[in-house]
Amino acid sequence: MTNYFIGIDGGGTSCRAAVAGADGRILGRGRSGASNILTAPDIALKHIEEAALLALHDAGLADHALSQCSALLGVAGNNVGDAVSYVTARLPFERAHIVSDGLIALQGALGDADGAIAIVGTGTIFIVRHKGQLHYLGGWGFQIGDLGGGARIGHAALQESLLAHDGIHPKSALTSLILDEFDNDPRKVVDFARAAHPGDFGRYAPQVVQLAAEGDVTALRLMRQAATYVDDALDAVSRITEGSGQLCLLGGLAQIYPSYLAERHKARLAEPLADALAGSVALAIKTFQPEATD
C-alpha cells in the first residue's frame, strides 16, 4: 500500500486534483473538465481520472500509482445515493470517499477549527462547524432558494428592467443597459427568462455590481436587498455558533459583499486559510491515514 493521497475538487466547469504524501505536502496538481456526477456521471468519471493522472505526472509518479492511491472527492450531488454509488464503484483508486463540495471548502477555509463559511456565487449556501457538528443552511437551488446569489441578483435586474420599461419604477443606467441588449423589447426579455438557467441570469450580476459601485440607484438597491438575505443567513449562523469562530466568504461574490453586510458580521470576517482543493487533500489524509498506517 502506498502513502499517497488524492484530493478532488469536482465542479460543473472543471475538476481539480492534487496528490500528497502522508505528511500532507502537495506533490502535484492537475485539472480537467466538468465533473458533475448528477447530470453526466460518465463524463465526470473520465475527467476525475484525467485530473488525477495529471496530478500524478506533475508529482513525477507513474500512472499505475493511481490504483494504489486513497482519494477523497468533494462534489455537488453527494446527497444523491444512486449517483454516488454509481461513481464510487467505477473510480480508479484503491479506496475512495465522496463528500460535498461545501465540506472540502469548509475544511480548506477553516482547517480543523470551528467557524463558518458563506459560499456566495451563482447560488448561496452557508456551512457551520460548531462543537464537532456540521450544519448546512440554504443551498436549495435557484427555483426556491439561493437568495443573495448572482443568479438571483441577475434575475432581479431583469425584473427591474421591465418595471422601468412600464414606468412603474424609474429608469436608471442599469435598466437602460439591459433593455438595450434586448432591443428595448420587453417580449424578448420574457422569452429569454422563460428558457434561462441560473447561470444565464447570473451573467447580469457583474453589471449590477459594477453600476452599484458607480452609484446607480437601482443597482445599489438590488445589492442592498441581496445583502439583507445574506445578513439574515449570517444571523442564523451566529445563533448556531453562539457568536464564536471565524467567518469566511467564498465564491464569486466573496470580495463584493463585505462592503454591503451589516457591521455585526464584518468583525467576524477572515481570509480563508486555503482553498477547497487543499481541503479535499486534508480530508483525504484524515479519512484514510489510519488505514494507511495500520
Per residue in 226-239, pLDDT (tens digit) is: 999 999 999 999 99
Q: The CATH number of the domain where 165 resides is what?
A: 3.30.420.40
User: Based on the domain organization, do 62 and 146 belong to the same domain?
Assistant: no
Task: Indicate whether 46 and 134 sit together in one domain.
Answer: no
Question: Is 134 found in the same domain as 268?
Answer: yes
96-106: pLDDT as tens digits: 999 989 999 99
Average pLDDT on 63-77 reads: 91
* 3-state SS class at 97: strand
Give the residue numbers spanning the domain of 192: 112-272
Q: At what angle do helices 217-241 and 150-165 cross, to 10 degrees?
A: 150
Query: Which residue's C-alpha cell is 439591459?
Result: 178
Contact 142, 151 (CB under 8 A): yes
pTM over 0.75: yes
Mean pLDDT of the chain: 93
- Measured in whole angstroms, how far is the alpha carbon of residue 133 from the centre of its chain? 21
- Residues 127, 242, single domain; the answer is yes
* pLDDT (0 to 100) of residue 2: 61
Distance in angstroms (rounded) separating the CA atoms of residues 218 and 228: 16
Interval 197-213: pLDDT, tens:
998 999 999 999 999 99
Number of folded domains that form the chain: 2
Residue 115, helix vs strand vs coil? strand
165 and 35 within one domain: no
Q: How confident is the model at residue 4 (pLDDT cuts 50, 70, 90)?
A: very high
For residues 139 and 18, membership in a common domain is answered with no
| Whether residues 215 and 244 fall in one domain | yes
If asked whether residues 92 and 218 sit together in one domain, one would say no
> What is the grid cell recorded at 252?
464569486
Rounded CA-CA distance 99/287 in Å is 11
Whether residue 239 sits in one domain with residue 156: yes
Instruction: Verify that 118 and 264 share a domain, yes or no.
Output: yes
Whether 160 and 92 share a structural domain: no
Cα angle 211, 275, 294; round to 5 = 165
Answer yes or no: do 266 and 284 share one domain: no
What 8-state DSSP symbol labels residue 5? Answer: E
Residue 265: other Cβ atoms inside 10 A: 21
| 20 SS3 class | strand
